[in-house]
Structure 1
């Protein structure tokens, strides 16, 4: 009887697996892969086949400079995030529980808050008459305001703040798996602290550092909001150039070619970096296979290989120098505490600043506010423009959440099974919408939604936002299903329960915490999304982020401070709810 039940279950999983995965495959193919192909066609046919758009990229040197500028800024941001994220990651792994909880909260708050809100906060801080300049002039350090905005300083500060959580979390994930007894063993064998750090910690933490660098670099290369609001003409990045071609020149073919170049370049650099460095990133010498790969690259890309050789020499020199630095544990601990305190202040400062400004009766953005009150909140909640935008965002986010769960939960269940051929390849494709530069997917989606005549409608936004929300649901639900004990389902089958009764009576209660978490992530991904909304919502389906964007760019409306504070409180509430759900899920496991 039991054997029959098991056989029936296995056959059910085998034949219904494609049915569970099919909705996700169809949806992403139709509304994600096809639009990307449509964008490629747009860049090559105008209206007949032509390479003129790609020839213009070579013909006009300005676009080469913009591309180089993009990767220069992305590299600086990635390096800064690694340097700032490493002490935080160390503390999140090795500090006391109370310190861990505090630092994790500070890291996660910017992660949950909208990019637009974070950028707006730094615009207030770094503006010509912002907080930093006021402090500098009040203390007599400067006699006139410094130019901290609309230049490289503003871009780097804003982007580092946005990207820092993406650097910390991968490093924490890898460092938490390091066996601490290795450090004690190294010390017991007579190694100095520098030697232990160089030969034990860094090689074990290298995968996390490498993933963090590449993740920040890729996300920075496609970032649009922060450099647009905080940068100047010399800080133009390729995403800004793509938007300019669409918004000002109305050259869709050339914008498509720029998008394709950005996409291909990012993918190329990703593959190249992992191929060259990978597990050899912190090793003292290269393996024969690594030398062979380098020789091949030297033949094909001599300039690139020369640069990489220089980087390797600098890294080798830094590693050797580290061994001779007489750093005691006490000195390291003191420096670590100071650095973590400064970084924590950097993470908390924008949130601490925006809240008092929101509770101001002044209709000029100023800190500290002269008078306190609720005028800005009243202005926001009584304005039909703001309330309509908020209602539109809520409608879209709610619909996206439901649709993402209906598609993502069955797919997550199927992806957690072992019998799916090429599972990791499918998984990488399914997650690519959140890795792809936002401006690229926005341009591709615009062409497709325009063909469907859904520009300026909530339906068009729902279709586009679901593509961006599905990866979050898939990740959470795959993890939830992986933690299930399969013997519980088999026991239910052996006792005579049907497949649907087993799912609703056994499986669903166990995955309910993950279901709520996935819903929260899907809701926030849609509610805070701006770039796609800029292209699709038009003037008839304005969302809250789009309304905030218009207010920041056109008039710096102080009402935005109240809206930003509301979104911060909403994000903190969602973060607390997620923590409670995770705590409940851990109790169920026990």
Structure 2
């Protein structure tokens, strides 16, 4: 054998190894990770760099905490966030139980009443409460008609309306998080407790509550983290004494201020958010962020997983014992039907809080009056005609469509690739990679907008359609990854293996087997990425220009300066868009529930 042939044979294993590596599904993660590294992580790192660039690294932070205005606002933000999370837990838990215990068409209707508001823009839901609680709104008219008030009063712009509005906005998140925990339960455990002589309340406290505590904790923390960065609702519904910390960042961004001081405000809010998430991840696992199970790693650690689950169950039982037994002694003699009626009444109240404002706004969109009033004196299409004939509204509408379409295209192309890499590869650290991919949903939008503004200025992307679409795609990407990961987990891999055994290439297997199987999920992910961009306001406030105005930006300006039924028209069109999308997403939502329950 010649030395040349020996050299060729020696090179073949290396070539085959290179080919195998190039076919590794883990490589599909690279585009999404590169995108996030440049347009997400880099701006946040730069934000931190600027915040510590003073005479000393702590100079700007010392100013933040030395000014009573910001310190008081920070304390107020934490107080409001904890209160809102507590209210959502109080009303969300019975509602999740109501969905779980309902059957047939009743369950579908209740679930729809919860899910529908979840996907409607926060700005529109907040506007609905402004209509509902306004001087000419139905609440004032009802109170006057039954004699509680002699004339309409100002119900807006106070702490109560801020708590009500934020709770109504975040309640669906709590309900869906707890429901995903309740749906996994083995119902035979509760039946066994009842058969053993335990009363309904004892079975709840000793069986149901400990098993659902992780879901309750995850829901509480998700709502708390979301509330910390709230900006839209407290701005529109609160008064001067209800300003939250995120509002100061937007106000400072509009004024001439020290660059480092503004970034320090953002870093303070970001640090608190990440600290809460880190502590929560230590006890609950970071999977609570994307609502799934721990992803399969290259080297399974079953012992650690079972040990952690057992520890959480033991902690849940201990908490239930400590809190529950005194209550059992107090309420143990009540009939079991009291619990059932409590769930129905509180669940019904939640549904009313979520749905009634939307219905009122939709009715007002057909009002013949020249101002906001309910009930309308007559019905007319004048406001629809005004919306579609106004060049400013239509220009903003088409701009939103273009930006949302571009953003969805970016999010789908990157997110689909990343989902394939997560589900099909054996790479180590899947949970850490998934945490990075979905982490944009936990970063306060005002912080992300502030960090992107500095980066986009350098590349002349502020006020550009592509820049705005790319920024919106940061939030759309996690939605795509979560939805398509659930869809891919529901695909029978034996079909893919059979196609590969018969000589089909990887691309052919994906095109003929995988793609048709995940098509409902792909359509749903595309819609939700599109809707996320179409509704996005906070990033748009930082990155738009006088020439580039989207529909939410136009709506924001009108809500702040004048209220008229044209805004109700925009809200109604948004609701119809969401209804159409949810109808499209029904198959993938069912698949997602099955995947997370396994």
TM-score for the superposition, normalised by structure 1? 0.89
Separation in structure 2 between the aligned mates of residue 422 and residue 341 of structure 1, nearest angstrom: 43
Instruction: Please report how far the alpha carbon of residue 418 of structure 1 lies from its aligned counterpart in structure 2 after TM superposition.
Output: 4.8
Instruction: Please report how far the alpha carbon of residue 552 of structure 1 lies from its aligned counterpart in structure 2 after TM superposition.
Output: 0.5
Separation in structure 2 between the aligned mates of residue 245 and residue 281 of structure 1, nearest angstrom: 47
Trace 1:186-265 onto structure 2 (pairs within 5 A).
186-265=193-272
Trace 1:175-186 onto structure 2 (pairs within 5 A).
175-186=182-193
**Which is further off, 86-95 or 186-195?**
186-195
Instruction: Please report how far the alpha carbon of residue 336 of structure 1 lies from its aligned counterpart in structure 2 after TM superposition.
Output: 2.2
1:447–1:187 Cα change, 3 Å: same
Contact 2:226 2:444 in 1 (8 A): yes
Separation in structure 1 between the aligned mates of residue 328 and residue 132 of structure 2, nearest angstrom: 36
Contact 1:166 1:212 in 2 (8 A): yes
Please tell me the root mean square deviation across aligned C-alpha atoms, in Å: 2.4
Match of 2:330 in 1: 324
Contact 2:524 2:581 in 1 (8 A): no
Trace 1:18-97 onto structure 2 (pairs within 5 A).
18-45=26-53, 50-97=57-104
Contact 1:394 1:527 in 2 (8 A): yes
Separation in structure 1 between the aligned mates of residue 60 and residue 314 of structure 2, nearest angstrom: 38
Contact 1:202 1:282 in 2 (8 A): no
1:536 aligns with 2:569: no
Q: Which of 111, 115, 125 matches 1:108?
A: 115
Trace 1:131-530 onto structure 2 (pairs within 5 A).
131-273=138-280, 275=282, 279=312, 283=316, 285=318, 316-317=322-323, 319-325=325-331, 326-530=333-537
Separation in structure 2 between the aligned mates of residue 9 and residue 417 of structure 1, nearest angstrom: 19
Separation in structure 1 between the aligned mates of residue 116 and residue 592 of structure 2, nearest angstrom: 22
Instruction: Please report how far the alpha carbon of residue 12 of structure 1 lies from its aligned counterpart in structure 2 after TM superposition.
Output: 4.3
Instruction: Please report how far the alpha carbon of residue 581 of structure 1 lies from its aligned counterpart in structure 2 after TM superposition.
Output: 6.0
Instruction: Please report how far the alpha carbon of residue 15 of structure 1 lies from its aligned counterpart in structure 2 after TM superposition.
Output: 4.1
Separation in structure 1 between the aligned mates of residue 540 and residue 314 of structure 2, nearest angstrom: 40
Contact 1:127 1:148 in 2 (8 A): yes
Separation in structure 1 between the aligned mates of residue 556 and residue 593 of structure 2, nearest angstrom: 40
**Which is further off, 253-262 or 27-36?**
253-262
**Which is further off, 463-472 or 135-144?**
135-144
Contact 2:131 2:137 in 1 (8 A): yes
Contact 1:243 1:255 in 2 (8 A): no
Cα shift readout 1:22-65 (whole Å, capped 9, x = no counterpart)? 1111100000000001111221225x665321111221122111
Instruction: Please report how far the alpha carbon of residue 275 of structure 1 lies from its aligned counterpart in structure 2 after TM superposition.
Output: 5.0
Separation in structure 2 between the aligned mates of residue 88 and residue 436 of structure 1, nearest angstrom: 28
Separation in structure 1 between the aligned mates of residue 268 and residue 351 of structure 2, nearest angstrom: 37
TM-score for the superposition, normalised by structure 2? 0.88
Match of 1:534, SS state, is helix
1:281–1:444 Cα change, 3 Å: farther
Match of 2:13 in 1: none
Contact 2:136 2:374 in 1 (8 A): no
Contact 1:35 1:445 in 2 (8 A): yes
Match of 1:324, SS state, is helix
Separation in structure 2 between the aligned mates of residue 318 and residue 60 of structure 1, nearest angstrom: 44
Contact 1:513 1:584 in 2 (8 A): no
1:45–1:13 Cα change, 3 Å: same
Number of matched residues? 553
Separation in structure 1 between the aligned mates of residue 329 and residue 22 of structure 2, nearest angstrom: 56
Contact 1:174 1:205 in 2 (8 A): yes
Instruction: Please report how far the alpha carbon of residue 9 of structure 1 lies from its aligned counterpart in structure 2 after TM superposition.
Output: 12
Match of 2:255, SS state, is helix
Contact 1:245 1:254 in 2 (8 A): no
Instruction: Please report how far the alpha carbon of residue 363 of structure 1 lies from its aligned counterpart in structure 2 after TM superposition.
Output: 2.0
Match of 1:166, SS state, is helix
Instruction: Please report how far the alpha carbon of residue 135 of structure 1 lies from its aligned counterpart in structure 2 after TM superposition.
Output: 1.0
**Which is further off, 206-215 or 15-24?**
15-24
Separation in structure 2 between the aligned mates of residue 151 and residue 9 of structure 1, nearest angstrom: 66
Cα shift readout 1:121-171 (whole Å, capped 9, x = no counterpart)? 000111233221111112110124344211111101110111001100111
Please, which runs of 5 or more residues in structure 2 have no aligned partner? 1-15, 285-310
Match of 2:457, SS state, is helix
Separation in structure 1 between the aligned mates of residue 201 and residue 500 of structure 2, nearest angstrom: 58
User: Which aligned segments of 4 or more residues in structure 1 are displaced greater than 6 angstroms?
Assistant: 8-11, 583-587
Contact 2:406 2:466 in 1 (8 A): no
Separation in structure 2 between the aligned mates of residue 498 and residue 110 of structure 1, nearest angstrom: 44
Contact 2:523 2:584 in 1 (8 A): no
Please, which runs of 5 or more residues in structure 1 have no aligned partner? 1-7, 287-311
1:570 aligns with 2:577: yes
